[in-house]
Structure 1
Amino acid sequence: MKRVKLVSFLMAMMLVLAACGSNDGTTSGGSGDAGKTYTVGVDTTYPPFEFEEGGEYKGIDIDVINAIAEEEGFKIELKPMDFGGIIPAILADQLDVAIAGMSITDERKAKVDFSDPYFDAGLTLVVSENNSDITSMDDLKGKVVAVKNGTTGAQYAEKIKEEAGIKEVRQFNDSPSMFQEVANGNADVLIEDYPVIAYAIKTSKLDLKTVGDRLNGDQYGIAVKKGTNQDLLSKINSGLQKIRDNGKYDEILKTYLGE
């Protein structure tokens, strides 16, 4: 009888020890996240941040999230989708993370938690390469400003037209026509999203250059579900700081923006 009790006791202890020692590496915090795979939502129609080339996903966002994952020891699975569906997918637990040139706004912050900003976007002034007369907003008086119809650049130009003394805001239906108008000297300056025009200048060899400071202060952030994924958010912020410190972040920007 005593032997049976001893055997039962030993078997129970073995079960307890096995339960205590089991760890599949998927728990959050510490080193338990090492090797875990997170699903990352991206919009691959937004160069230079995300695009598909030769069957591969490339861009600033793709390289940044891969570099962060490498620093923090986790893996990612990219899930391309329309931009408008990304936050709903996070809320439905279909995505763990989103990086998609997403501006940090109060409206979005009500639904998701953002990382530290990883890119200062916003509008910028663009002039021909040989133009030295325009270096800031103060130089727009009496000038012709080219914009693309329906864009934030067009809205901004109309908003400041009277205050800045702009002679004319000239609307175009496509970017190449707008670029050419300034390159040929038919318009003095254009207003465009900074990363978009910087990438276009680098890849298309346009005879244009950006000048002055950003005209507004949009910042991009990496998103996770609000209030439920703080450990992952901490890892993202940690990895982001590491790639800033070790120079990898600057290398990524130089690859796509030439700076």
Structure 2
Amino acid sequence: MSSKWLKTLGAGLALSVAATSVSAETLRVVTDPSFVPFEMMDQETGEMIGFDMEIIAEVAERAGFDYDLNTMDFNGIIPALQTGNVDIAIAGITITEERGEIVDFSDPYYDSGLRILVRTDSDMDEMSDLEGKKIGSKIGSTSYDYLMKTLDDDDGVTPYPGSSDMYMALMSRAVDAVFYDAPNVGYFASTKGKGKVKVVGPLYEGQQYGIALKKGSKWVGPVNEALAEIKDDGTYKTIYEKWFGPMPEDK
């Protein structure tokens, strides 16, 4: 197994996974540290933990590469892949046709969608209720794009750099609602926001997350094979249920 240590990369935190073999190629992997429970910083150990972090560790071991793991804001991840500054990204990245034109995606590894989060005293419960309201979303996310395409009155939509920022805005009444990825919204509602916020409405725009690689990467095949292997042997189920509870039968 690769060893990890905390280091500083520019203004951001970074973790490095040491090579365990002189023959294994070391790839530059990046994630967004604020998308819980997929990736987050363990305040006690200084290590990145979460669903995605366990998935990429398994994939790397089985695909045959070592990796340096660094963090950056989500809106910088696709450009970093596009310019070749990083090799792989895993950060709850929704597979879209537009993104697929500039990066390569693995096979989907997580089914998701978008949900509305409001304070418990709110009477809003569907997309039409968000018209003309102050809504927090995340910069560069598909949730922000969806709001801009769907709402006729979108002047109140505010993109935030991190999910914690938009949740704080909701709790402080700076915004009326948050619209973001379902698992992240649900996790906040059941942890720090428990009793203060609630998830409402249906699941909007069913989505799938994929591991993103720079265009033309030779690692797409090995990554897909590794993903298939961890699903077949039960490893994926074990990791999923650690972070999300019982896995639906159709996953």
Q: Structure 1-normalised TM-score?
A: 0.61
8 Å contact kept, 1:153–1:193: no
In 1, Cα distance between equivalents of 2:134 and 2:230: 35
Instruction: Tell me the secondary structure at the aligned position of residue 204 of structure 1.
Output: coil
Tell me the residue number matched to 2:109.
118
8 Å contact kept, 1:202–1:257: no
| C-alpha deviation, 1:72, in angstroms | 2.7
Greater fraction of residues in strand: 2
| C-alpha deviation, 1:225, in angstroms | 1.8
Q: Which amino acid aligns with 2:65?
A: F
In 1, Cα distance between equivalents of 2:144 and 2:76: 25
Tell me the residue number matched to 2:53.
62
8 Å contact kept, 1:147–1:191: no
**Which of 53, 69, 88 is matched with 1:78 structurally?**
69
Determine if the alignment matches structure 1 residue 175 to structure 2 residue 167.
Answer: yes
Cα distance change, pair 60–178 in 1 and its aligned pair in 2 (3 A): same
- 1:174-253 paired onto structure 2 within 5 Å: 175=167, 192-204=180-192, 206-207=194-195, 214-227=203-216, 229-230=217-218, 232-253=219-240
Instruction: Tell me the secondary structure at the aligned position of residue 58 of structure 2.
Output: helix
In 1, Cα distance between equivalents of 2:63 and 2:149: 45
Q: Which amino acid aligns with 2:206?
A: G
In 1, Cα distance between equivalents of 2:212 and 2:169: 35
Determine if the alignment matches structure 1 residue 92 to structure 2 residue 79.
Answer: no
Cα distance change, pair 73–95 in 1 and its aligned pair in 2 (3 A): same
Cα distance change, pair 235–199 in 1 and its aligned pair in 2 (3 A): same
Cα distance change, pair 178–86 in 1 and its aligned pair in 2 (3 A): closer
In 1, Cα distance between equivalents of 2:100 and 2:149: 29
| C-alpha deviation, 1:153, in angstroms | 7.9
CA RMSD of aligned residues (A): 4.1
Is the radius of gyration larger for structure 1 or structure 2? 1
Q: Which amino acid aligns with 1:63?
A: E
8 Å contact kept, 1:202–1:258: no
Cα distance change, pair 25–106 in 1 and its aligned pair in 2 (3 A): same
Cα distance change, pair 80–180 in 1 and its aligned pair in 2 (3 A): closer
Identity of aligned residues (%): 34
In 1, Cα distance between equivalents of 2:169 and 2:225: 43
Cα distance change, pair 71–209 in 1 and its aligned pair in 2 (3 A): farther
8 Å contact kept, 1:123–1:153: no
| C-alpha deviation, 1:192, in angstroms | 4.7
In 2, Cα distance between equivalents of 1:195 and 1:117: 16
| C-alpha deviation, 1:82, in angstroms | 2.6
Unaligned runs of 5+ in 2: 1-20, 159-164, 247-251
| C-alpha deviation, 1:95, in angstroms | 1.7
Unaligned runs of 5+ in 1: 1-23, 27-34, 130-135, 162-169, 182-186
8 Å contact kept, 1:125–1:190: yes
